Copies of this chain bind each other. A is one copy, B any other.
Amino acid sequence: MKKLINRPDRVVSDMLAGMALSYPDRLRHLEGTGVIVRRDAPVTGKVGLVSGGGSGHEPAHAGFVGTGMLDAAVAGEVFTSPTPDQILEAIKAVDSGQGVLCIVKNYTGDVLNFEMAAEMAAAEGIDVDHVVVNDDVAVEDSTHTTGRRGIAGTVFVHKVAGARAQAGGTLHEVKQAAQTVIQNVRSMGVALTPCTLPEAGKPGFTLGENEIEIGIGIHGEPGVERTKVRTAADVTTVLADKVLSDLPFQPGDRVAVMVNGMGATPLMELNVVGKELHAILKEKRIEVVDTWIGEFMTSLDMAGCSITLLKMTDDTEKWLSAPADTVAVRRY
């Protein structure tokens, strides 16, 4: 295993310590908790937003902590849900009395632990609610999930709910904004290579020399099909067809688009996929109002990408384009 780390069991705490040292004017690391909060948390008069999950998906989720997005991110060990105690620390650190919304990706451990933390927070008098993101259209159930998995579309939920909270929305309004995104967002991914967990030291699964896996999960959970290497145009068509037909997206719809790198895929290739996706959407007379290309929800050193489409409503479009100032997403 070749990784720029010190010890496998220290990689998450080293990473979080590094982030706190690199962005001292933006972020605080609540040491020993895996929690990164906005420097100025709790923000008076604002609903707090908490997300998180297993590590290995960077910049998710600490990269989205800041003005107009999250107030706190909770980092579990690599590909491992954070504990209820960790999540409770985050909730407490961002509650200013206006309540806290947790944005949870649909994995069994995450949902259970966020729900338990919410109960603990409620017992301490905090008004807390949560939403569950399940944007991955590839499979209905998986090794880690009952129901669909939450993947890169979660970042659009962070952005929209974050802007709604920043604009003074109540807990109910912020949850509504998040739910609207969840209803209208769909994603699907492809892997070219597996990823290697630091503790394991070897890939979690294997792919042949010329083999790719369509519909892969962000922890390397099985997808829907293994196939030979195909062109970017072909791969994008396969992903887009499944995503488009699911909601379904219709001619005349306005959408935001994300092409998300899984960790080891060059930006060059993501832009080639972006070109193909734009061509497909144009042909279907679906209008793209916003495009996000880059790494948002990764899977360690996996090569591959996911595509995400989010259907606009007037409110969603307003909040998606609102200012944000985080390490990984900045908007004027």
* Interface, chain A (partner B; CB < 8 A): 1-7, 11, 14-19, 21-23, 55-56, 58-59, 63, 190, 192-193, 210, 212, 229, 231-233, 235, 257, 263-276, 278, 291, 293, 295, 298, 300-301, 303-305, 325, 327, 330-332
Contact = CB atoms under 8 A, between A and B. Distances in A.
- Count of chain copies: 2
A59 B269 CA distance: 11
Given A6-B231, A265-B301, A266-B300, A271 B19 contact: yes
A4 B276 CA distance: 11
B274 A11 contact: no
Given A21-B278, A232-B4, A15 B58 contact: no
Contacts of A275: 14-15, 17-18, 21
Q: Is the interface of A mostly helix, strand, loop or mixed?
A: mixed
Contacts of A305: 4
B268 A15 contact: yes
Contacts of A56: 266, 268
Contacts of A257: 22
B273 A4 contact: yes
A5 B267 contact: no
A271 B232 contact: no
A132 B3 CA distance: 33
A13 B170 CA distance: 47
A164 B293 CA distance: 28
A14 B300 CA distance: 27
A299 to B, nearest CB: 9
Contacts of A266: 56, 58, 263-264, 298, 300-301
A4 B192 contact: yes
